[in-house]
Amino acid sequence: MAERRVLLMQEIHPDGVKMLEEAEIKVDVAESLDEEYLLKKVMDYDGIIVRVHPYIGRSIIEAAKRCVVIGKHGALVDNVDLEAANAYRIPVVYAPGSNANAVAEHTVCLMMAVAKHIWDAGVQLRVYGNYNYRLQVKSFELSGKTLGVIGLGNIGRKVARICKYGFSMKVIGYDPYINEELLRQEGLEDTELVGDLEYLLRNADFITIHIPATKENEKFIGERELSMMKRNAIIVNTARGSVIDQRALYRALRDGVIAGAGMDVFDPEPPSVDEPILTLDNVVATPHMAAHTEETLSNMAKMVCKNVISVLRGERPDNIANPEIWDIRRLPQ
């Protein structure tokens, strides 16, 4: 294979870079994510690998005259314009399932942190020396409670398993596309699958969201949905910020409509320093870091790089988001 060049929009785990270099692929890292810079930079590369930022839209794809593969360093392809990639016959590869363990663990961590007042109690003790804060709040147990899972993909099912087997929680699942055989294979056959989201919202003590950031899912949870939840309910979002109406969530938390929230994602990102929801004691927030474990970053990088290498070698990749264009794909120059 002639020398190929791949542009990383941001640094990835060294294990992935090593794979590319061992395949005799030259690797560069973009010095800026400014679009004007990228429009010139991408012209000279056979492949592009992008993390969460920037958005790889039509203008960048059109400018990438040599590009024959776009790799998404992630489990979802939500910041690549697939329609534009199809128009220019460029395969888009990604790393589905690579972050399931990390994000599921982080989700349960947020559930527990909110229920146990880890954040606000810690602030009271560390900052104010308020040891008696323990007498001013009541925490909740997860054991025996009802978990509502919105989206039963790799991460949603992993969360369900942890909560079912670790805390004896009853699981209610909402996912119009779920493969029920997968639930059976993974020991989740007694999950109460519902086609009525309202039922889940009204009956779950903890609700966790695992759906992609599509146009249809924008503000999937809004003021109406929040009003259906129990007053002592806790909601966790480790999916994407846009699937919850953040202003409505703030009001619901401020006014006691629900008890608390765990958030790893925001709308927009990064949140502003004066974001109102971050001022609330019943919110535990982390900076979109659920998947940022050593293991996941290594696995994700290796998985997407393996797919990129396959395309550059003319081999069909294991994970392609737009398989319909494979047979008519743009070929390396």
Catalytic-labelled residue, pool 269, 295, 315, 316: 269
The mean of the pLDDT values for the chain is 97
For 203-222, how does the pLDDT look when each residue is reduced to its tens digit (9 = 90+)?
999 999 999 999 999 999 99
Residue 2 pLDDT > 80, yes or no? no
The yes-or-no answer on residue 3 being catalytic is no
Across the chain, how many H-helices and E-strands are there?
12, 12
CA pair distance 241, 233, nearest whole angstrom: 19
For 272-325, how does the pLDDT look when each residue is reduced to its tens digit (9 = 90+)?
999 999 999 999 999 999 999 999 999 999 999 999 999 999 999 999 999 999
CA pair distance 135, 156, nearest whole angstrom: 35
The yes-or-no answer on residue 210 being catalytic is no
Residue span(s) of the chain under CATH 3.40.50.720 come to: 4-98+294-328, 100-285
Q: What percent of the chain has pLDDT over 90?
A: 96
DSSP string of 9-39?
SS---HHHHHHHHHTTEEEEE-S---HHHHH
Catalytic-labelled residue, pool 13, 51, 157, 288: 288
CA pair distance 157, 160, nearest whole angstrom: 5
The yes-or-no answer on residue 73 being catalytic is no
Assessment of whether the complete model's pTM goes beyond 0.85: yes
- What is the CATH class of 4-98+294-328? alpha beta
How far does the chain reach from its first CA to its final CA, in angstroms?
11
CA pair distance 304, 94, nearest whole angstrom: 5
Please report which confidence band the pLDDT of residue 1 belongs to, taking 50, 70 and 90 as the band edges.
low
Q: The domain 100-285: what is its CATH number? A: 3.40.50.720
